[in-house]
Amino acid sequence: MSKYELALVVNAKIEDDARAAVVEKAKDYIGRAGGTVTNVDDWGRKKLAYEIQKMDEGFYYFIQFDAETDAPAKLETDVRIMDNVLRFLIVKPDEE
């Protein structure tokens, strides 16, 4: 299994419960793709570099997980259609 990180930028105009549901849904998608979540970092509300969907702020979440090499493609398909996710990125961090 390889280590991966999913970065999510979530809509800042939704309630805390809805925001938590978005993160839980992303974690569920990771599980369905055969991965296991190892850590979730909540960076809070940050100003965006540029306006996205008429919003200039978003909540940043970084979810580290272990998965097989085909999991990121499956996960990307699911996360792409999630409501309230402004941007996302799946990367494989450098091995130290």
Contact yes or no for 27/37 (Cβ under 8 A)? yes
| 2-91: CATH class | alpha beta
List all residues 6 or more positions away from 21 whose beta carbon is below 8 Å from its beta carbon.
Answer: none
- The domains of the chain are located at 2-91
Average pLDDT (1-24) is 91
Amino acid 30: pLDDT: 92
Q: What is the pTM of this model?
A: 0.88
Position 1 pLDDT exceeds 90: no
- CA angle 2/5/6 to nearest 5° reads 130
Task: Report whether 57 contacts 47 (CB < 8 A).
Answer: yes
Q: What digits encode the pLDDT tens for the residues 23-71?
A: 999 999 999 988 999 999 999 899 999 998 888 999 999 999 999 999 8
Identity of residue 43: W
pLDDT of residue 6 exceeding 90: yes
Q: Would you tell me how many other CB atoms lie within 10 Å of the CB of residue 17?
A: 7
